[in-house]
Structure 1
Amino acid sequence: MNLFPSLVAGAALLAAGVSPVLAQAPKHTFEIGETELLLDGKLMQIRCGELHFARVPKEYWRHRLQLCKAMGLNTVCAYLFWNLHEFEQGKFNWEGQADAAEFCRLAQEEGLWVLLRPGPYACAEWDGGGLPWWLLKKPDIALRSRDPDFMAASRAWLAEVSRVLGPLQVTKGGPILMAQVENEYGFYGTDAEYMGQMRQAMLDAGFDIPLFACNPTGNLNNGRRDDLFNVVNFGSDPATGFKKLREIQPKGPLMCGEFYPGWFDTWGAPHHLGKTDQYLKDLGYMLDAGASFSIYMAHGGTSFGMWAGADRPFKPDTSSYDYDAPISEAGWIGDKFERTRDLMAKHLLPGEKLVDPPQPMPVMAIPSFKLKETAAIFENLPAAIPDAQPRHMEAYDQGHGCIIYSIELPAGPFSTLELEQVHDFGWVFLNGKEIGVTDRRSRRFKLDLPDRKQPARLDILVEAMGHVNFGKEIHDRKGIMGKVKLVTLGKEAEVEGEWSVRPLKLDAPLLSSLKWKTGGEAASGPKFWRGTFQLGKTADTFLDLRTWGKGVIWVNGHCLARHWNIGPTQTAYLPGVWLKEGENEVIILDLLGPEKPVLAGLEKPILDQLRPELDFARKKKGELVLKGHKPALEAAFSPGPDVQEVKFPQPLEGSQFALEMLSAHDGKPFAAIAEFDLLDPEGKSISHASWTIAYVDSEELAGEDGSASNAINGQTADFWHSEWKEIQPGYPHHLVIDLGANTKVGGFRYTPRAGNNPGRIKDYRVFVGSGFVKESK
């Protein structure tokens, strides 16, 4: 009996038209039964691991797949990042690093099945969640909705995916067992019709295998459809996760779509390490229960180039996507891998056996060498685009890199430059001299300008980091948006005149056009640096970037990574297959300037070295001022892990939201929040795009990443936690969110930390208004 008859994959020759290596393979069927997944009519427990081929050099795909097989997995999960394959609208790329079909064929040759996740939205800490930047050229586009332009582009994408990967479905003899519709849509919206249209688009494109939808534990019912197989995502507490799944899908196999053994890193926050004992306990629970799962990530790899995304509201992700996965960024294995393998060995299905892992890739050190040539940005500008006002980067047909806005200011006295929005960092120059830096993280968009005895040239160099990849904030345009004003003697006026706009796409044409000089190290300002080093052999290495500032690095034409001296990542993984015997070339864009223009290759990465003293524009902690403000609500949260929603009797209005926590359910001094969301008067989530943490009394940064920003980033697998390792301050605890503008608030949603962990808040008070935090000078 088939529980989901419309989701059954029929019989087919496994290798028909796919790979001559497996030409005589037997027939297979795959279906979703009433209690279990069935391969050839027999129980199949999917033991899957996520492995993003875009984050692994193509030459290493087979090696990493062999490691997955050796760990005890029988399936790999393959994300497609739409923007990788269609970076320019209508121009599809499936070659080289983007050869998804080859990755699937290699998986099949190594005895692994494939779960396909084609999007159109992926998340995955990838630029824009995989959505192409060119969608944002339409001013009013509504991403992940029934917006006709978004749906038309998505249908074209899915049709292209089916053209390339359709022949690799199990129904055609290939390894692809199931395909996902969208991704974690329940966190984003509630429109079941949108999910239905995405499902139909995949059917129309030619997908005839089971289709599934995945969502976090607290969002399973949002946009849910009975004609999709539902799976649940969680990082711990599988019992609760599967209980919630059963509430919305009473029958059918249990499956976790994303099970997190670690977590990703963001610039300026501590490096994440998963709790291996708890991970193995939860994995064992699923194996014992006969549930299927996908370990996210089995192997994280690297967000090469400028593909790393940004967490919400804006926390840019590091290029290293090590994830503390069982298989490290460079394909190394250790204790977590071995213990996972030992656990898997106890739960193999009849006829299965473990294979030995392949040998690790060789690694080497590279002696220190100096980069002696420079090319200053302001001496290598492309042709200007005239404009009456500055607009966002996408409006100038640009998706990545930097952009420079220039205008001549009239003579005038001391004034303040006010920019409405700058995404993401802006270096401001007056007549070539740096005046200061704007910082999206803290919404620092004002700078003082000295008096001008005569007209002066204003240049604003904006660096775009990854487009936000999660939540409503994916509508993340880059560059300057809104008005640019001067405030002089208390009077404000919009800067008027003709702007000159110069896109710096940081692509191959730009690099090839640079005019290099020697002996320019002493000159200040942002510049490119170039150097070479000689090799007698090649192997993997990790470039030591500790003496460099902030920017992007290329090696032999490969855009390798972003770098930023604040950490936690201080190295860049350089695959040996991208090196060559003889001369190798390195180019580094450094917007801050290096302490020393030297590089070396290390045998081990540095992933956990924070240097907050080097951060250039962070706002200092303010002083809490709640005295004299009347609480809008005094209440208590219920015990337990469930999401709790609170609605005010009448909407409140303010630019700041303060939560005063008075006690915990377990009586301990700790407070924790997995996620905190505000609701508008209609009960819908309010965008976090302009939010910042205005104040927090305590956040754990030594023992783990308990950053306050984790409470508003949309990720329920991480959390804010008051200090616990070195000191343990008691209640009350305070968290103040600056909303960026006066906002009507109808209520809020509180997600406790998962599992039976400390920090569950009991009594609390809420304040909505302004002036809750006095800023430090």
Structure 2
Amino acid sequence: MKNFSKYFYVILFFLSINSIFSQKRNFEIKNGEFLLNGKSFVIHSGELHYPRVPMEYWKHRLQMMKAMGLNTVTTYVFWNYHEESPGKWNFSGEKDLKKFIKTAQEVGLYVIIRPGPYVCAEWEFGGYPWWLQKDKNLEIRTDNKAFLLQCEKYINELAKQIVPLQINNGGPVIMVQAENEFGSYVAQRKDIPLEQHKKYSHKIKDFLVRSGITVPFFTSDGSSLFKGGSIEGALPTANGESDIDVLKKNVNEYNGGKGPYMVAEYYPGWLDHWAEPFPKVSTEDVVKQTELYIKNGVSFNYYMVHGGTNFGFTSGANYDKDHDIQPDLTSYDYDAPISEAGWATPKYNALRNVFQKINAQNLPDVPQPVKIITIPEIKLSKNADLFDYIDLQKPVINNLPLTFEDLNIGNGYVLYRRKFDKAQNGKIEIKGLRDYAHLYINGRWVGEMNRYYKKYDLKINIKAGETLDILVENMGRINYGAEIVNNLKGIISPVRINGNEISGNWKMYPLPFNQFPKHNYKPKDIATRTPMICEGEFFLGETGDTFLDMRKFGKGVVFINGRNIGRYWSKVGPQLTLYIPGVWLKKGKNTIQIFEQINDNTNFTINSIDHPILDQLVK
């Protein structure tokens, strides 16, 4: 009888535990509130984009968020990050979205997904694949059949990653955004009727529903832009709104007179461009605004809580009346509470104190930062003139210069070459330059053109029989505003000399830098101002994060152990270092490769330091 009683209670215990775990978990919007498993819930979220952080560091950064006092992580999903070429999808390795979501759940964070398809985010082309522009019948971000077909394919592929991890399926995903900041686009594209705009945005939400996503939807716009951006059946949330009364008034107007109230993007920092000052937001202002949201029960998401890095060619660009393009930095530090390298900043510590006051239990300990190392002088022992490499490649020949898209490359560089039978003396104009170019005659540098400074011409003197080379760089496609529809790269209009169009026998050499160019390096003196490729080896007894010091270099890209770390432009700043994650270094032999475009002070050594330099304008 005693044994029966013991087993009875054991069975009863396991049945009760099983009952608890089998209870349906859910997240809903009801009676003007967010409800988590039936109880009122206020979202305290931070934005972190998994492609901007090495996957080995995902858990560390998420633990940093948890230790700060947040309960949710928000991430964009970048379409062009996962569809690597038409129909070729990659959600594995560092692109494993499921793993990121599951890691957040392990850490104890809920997840909000922002899938776009347009995301902005200072990311190349706002997340769109560059090759969409190859379809002449396709117009992005509108009620266009060809575009919507591609959007639906993307959403269906993405849903395979998200649906199994929704909260009602046992995962941590509690909300999904439909489109992104569409109200500002509607305001800028007045050439399209509002009804047509609305047809498009509502179809995006319909695709999300049909894909199997069942958690609540929301939109995200400036609070004065809800008319264009709101979508029926999705909660309107405000970006950057600091006034609680304004927030409530605008949400009420488009949400049946009630909440919940959420600021989907509150900015504790701001984005950065090359050649412009590094903007900062004071800790005092961020703390004050956070306390105001908390006092009023407003949900919010820090954009960004941790920015990370625009590795490779992933950074996008803006534009304004003074600059036809404003390319974004490689660093996406954002002056965020958690720095680019994952360090707790004074802003982080101040916010942690705020959240500790509203938590009955002690917050988790702040994780230790990743070890920092410095690398002494590395000799770049292998050096080559880029033109020597070009001369070994097979060109594409056409009557007129072709765009990057026509040449079937998305990023990197194209060298445009033409030999002249007759002398040309005067002004060369390339009004369709996208985005940055150096010009050479018979390998001799003659000048720079630069879309940032609206410099599209220069004086030139070409003798009969000489060859003109134009090395053009794509500095990142525009990711925000009406100009996003005009994002072809390379030379997209005729080249003119003294007003005459130069046609016939253009040779083009694509340099996508998907991999660093392989070359048989031979000893050779390289003339100043000649673009060069360099390579060196260095040996490490231990690994750790570090910051490559680019102050002796001009402009280009760096590869470490085969990975494109990103662009540098030390001639202008404000970023003068490149963040190297320790997990991408190796004990023993490592390889560094550099493409230096400007080369006005030939350097054959480089080193790293123990801190970033992100705020020093050079000119």
TM-score (normalizing by structure 1): 0.73
Task: Give the whole-Å Cα distance in 2 for the aligned partners of 1:325 and 1:496.
Answer: 50
Deviation of 1:524 after TM superposition, in Å, equals 4.4
Q: Which amino acid aligns with 1:244?
A: N
Q: Deviations over 1:511-550 (max 9, x none)?
A: 2532323454556411111111111100111010000010
Q: Deviating runs (4+, > 6 A) in structure 1?
A: none
User: 1:582 corresponds to which residue?
Assistant: 588
Q: Secondary structure at the match of 1:298?
A: coil
Match of 1:529 among 502, 526, 534: 534
Map 1:154-173 to 2 at 5 A.
154-173=151-170
Whether 1:197 aligns to 2:207 is no
Whether 1:426 aligns to 2:437 is yes
173-182 vs 131-140, which deviates more?
A: 131-140
Q: Secondary structure at the match of 2:492?
A: strand
Any conservation in 2 of the 1:235–1:261 contact (CA below 8 Å)?
no
Deviation of 1:140 after TM superposition, in Å, equals 5.3
Q: Secondary structure at the match of 1:414?
A: strand
Task: Give the whole-Å Cα distance in 1 for the aligned partners of 2:280 and 2:560.
Answer: 29
Task: Give the whole-Å Cα distance in 2 for the aligned partners of 1:463 and 1:172.
Answer: 46
Q: Which amino acid aligns with 1:440?
A: R
**Structure 1 unaligned residues grouped into runs of 5+:** 1-22, 613-777
Q: How many pairs are equivalent?
A: 581
User: 1:354 corresponds to which residue?
Assistant: 363
Evaluate the alpha carbon distance shift between residue 44 and residue 369 of structure 1 in structure 2; reply closer, same or farther with a 3 A threshold.
same
Evaluate the alpha carbon distance shift between residue 413 and residue 477 of structure 1 in structure 2; reply closer, same or farther with a 3 A threshold.
closer
Map 1:307-346 to 2 at 5 A.
307-313=314-320, 314-346=325-357
User: 1:472 corresponds to which residue?
Assistant: 482
Q: Which amino acid aligns with 1:383?
A: K
User: 2:559 corresponds to which residue?
Assistant: 554
Match of 2:504 among 485, 488, 497: 497
Deviation of 1:238 after TM superposition, in Å, equals 4.5
User: 1:604 corresponds to which residue?
Assistant: 611
State the Cα RMSD in Å.
1.7
Deviation of 1:235 after TM superposition, in Å, equals 6.1
Any conservation in 2 of the 1:320–1:329 contact (CA below 8 Å)?
yes
Task: Give the whole-Å Cα distance in 2 for the aligned partners of 1:496 and 1:279.
Answer: 56
Task: Give the whole-Å Cα distance in 2 for the aligned partners of 1:584 and 1:451.
Answer: 43
User: 1:82 corresponds to which residue?
Assistant: 79
Any conservation in 1 of the 2:223–2:241 contact (CA below 8 Å)?
no
Q: Secondary structure at the match of 2:42?
A: coil
Whether 1:289 aligns to 2:296 is yes
Deviation of 1:449 after TM superposition, in Å, equals 1.4
Map 1:361-760 to 2 at 5 A.
361-381=370-390, 382-452=393-463, 454-475=464-485, 476-487=487-498, 492-508=499-515, 511=516, 513-522=518-527, 524-565=529-570, 566-593=572-599, 595=601, 596-612=603-619
Task: Give the whole-Å Cα distance in 2 for the aligned partners of 1:267 and 1:184.
Answer: 24
Higher strand share: 1
Task: Give the whole-Å Cα distance in 2 for the aligned partners of 1:60 and 1:87.
Answer: 23
User: 2:43 corresponds to which residue?
Assistant: 46
Match of 2:178 among 177, 181, 202: 181
Deviation of 1:588 after TM superposition, in Å, equals 0.6
Task: Give the whole-Å Cα distance in 1 for the aligned partners of 2:371 and 2:612.
Answer: 14
Task: Give the whole-Å Cα distance in 2 for the aligned partners of 1:247 and 1:49.
Answer: 27
Any conservation in 2 of the 1:372–1:521 contact (CA below 8 Å)?
no
Whether 1:70 aligns to 2:77 is no
Deviation of 1:602 after TM superposition, in Å, equals 0.8
Evaluate the alpha carbon distance shift between residue 515 and residue 140 of structure 1 in structure 2; reply closer, same or farther with a 3 A threshold.
farther
Q: Deviations over 1:577-601 (max 9, x none)?
A: 1111111110011100163332111
Task: Give the whole-Å Cα distance in 2 for the aligned partners of 1:235 and 1:409.
Answer: 58
Q: Secondary structure at the match of 1:513?
A: coil
Q: Which amino acid aligns with 1:280?
A: V
Higher helix share: 2
Task: Give the whole-Å Cα distance in 2 for the aligned partners of 1:485 and 1:594.
Answer: 27
Q: Secondary structure at the match of 2:376?
A: strand
Task: Give the whole-Å Cα distance in 1 for the aligned partners of 2:368 and 2:62.
Answer: 13
User: 1:234 corresponds to which residue?
Assistant: 240
Deviation of 1:25 after TM superposition, in Å, equals 7.4
**Structure 2 unaligned residues grouped into runs of 5+:** 1-19, 187-193
Q: Deviations over 1:176-196 (max 9, x none)?
A: 001001110111124111111
User: 1:736 corresponds to which residue?
Assistant: none
Q: Secondary structure at the match of 1:442?
A: coil
Task: Give the whole-Å Cα distance in 1 for the aligned partners of 2:510 and 2:71.
Answer: 46
TM-score (normalizing by structure 2): 0.91
Match of 2:113 among 103, 116, 141: 116
Task: Give the whole-Å Cα distance in 1 for the aligned partners of 2:23 and 2:604.
Answer: 59
Any conservation in 2 of the 1:265–1:271 contact (CA below 8 Å)?
yes
Q: Secondary structure at the match of 2:32?
A: coil
Evaluate the alpha carbon distance shift between residue 451 and residue 587 of structure 1 in structure 2; reply closer, same or farther with a 3 A threshold.
closer
Evaluate the alpha carbon distance shift between residue 360 and residue 501 of structure 1 in structure 2; reply closer, same or farther with a 3 A threshold.
same
Any conservation in 1 of the 2:283–2:350 contact (CA below 8 Å)?
no
Any conservation in 1 of the 2:220–2:229 contact (CA below 8 Å)?
no
Deviation of 1:27 after TM superposition, in Å, equals 3.4
Any conservation in 2 of the 1:403–1:463 contact (CA below 8 Å)?
yes
Task: Give the whole-Å Cα distance in 2 for the aligned partners of 1:334 and 1:538.
Answer: 23
473-482 vs 408-417, which deviates more?
A: 408-417
Task: Give the whole-Å Cα distance in 2 for the aligned partners of 1:339 and 1:528.
Answer: 45
Q: Which one has more relative contact order, counting CA pairs under 8 Å at least 6 apart?
A: 2
Task: Give the whole-Å Cα distance in 2 for the aligned partners of 1:209 and 1:497.
Answer: 57
Q: Which amino acid aligns with 1:336?
A: K
Task: Give the whole-Å Cα distance in 2 for the aligned partners of 1:239 and 1:233.
Answer: 14
User: 2:263 corresponds to which residue?
Assistant: 256
Task: Give the whole-Å Cα distance in 2 for the aligned partners of 1:459 and 1:302.
Answer: 32
